[in-house]
Amino acid sequence: MQHYLIHQLAKKAQLPIDTVRFYEKKHLIIPSYRAENNYKYYDEATLKRLQFIKQCRGLDMSLAEIQQLIDLIKQPQQGCQVVDQMIEQHILQVEKNIAELISFQSQLQELRQSCSSNTTIDHCQILKNLGLSE
């Protein structure tokens, strides 16, 4: 069975070492064992868990959502409706975030159009529209 030191695990998972440490502090991963030299070693299951976490984070899932999924994995006989509901809630949140970002984009475009680049800061319409002019 393959075991990794934290820097090897991080490299294999393509994550910064600090990120691996953070996930360990959040109890999303745990070392397999601590050797006599006091180094922590991690196994293949931990690597797979890290890859799972990385993929979930790539989908903008929260650490709480990831922890829920990890907890559910430990109950293989439970129905997957819980997972379906979690993903549905996440989709709704992503849709809300997209709508907010589109709104931000429109507001920023309006601000950009209000400014003439040939003016000075004290006449900048962007700053005035943002309420920052003096």
Low-confidence ranges of the chain (pLDDT < 70): 133-134
- Predicted pLDDT of residue 134: 60
Burial environment of residue 22 by CB neighbours within 10 A (0 to 12, 13 to 18, 19 or more): middle
pLDDT at 68 (0 to 100): 94
Task: Give me the pLDDT at residue 120, please.
Answer: 83
The whole-angstrom separation of Cα 100 and Cα 97 is 5
Read out DSSP for the chain?
--EE-HHHHHHHHT--HHHHHHHHHTTSS--SEE-TTS-EEEEHHHHHHHHHHHHHHHTT--HHHHHHHHHHHT-TTS-THHHHHHHHHHHHHHHHHHHHHHHHHHHHHHHHHT--TTS-GGG-HHHHHTT---
Q: What is the pLDDT of residue 117?
A: 75
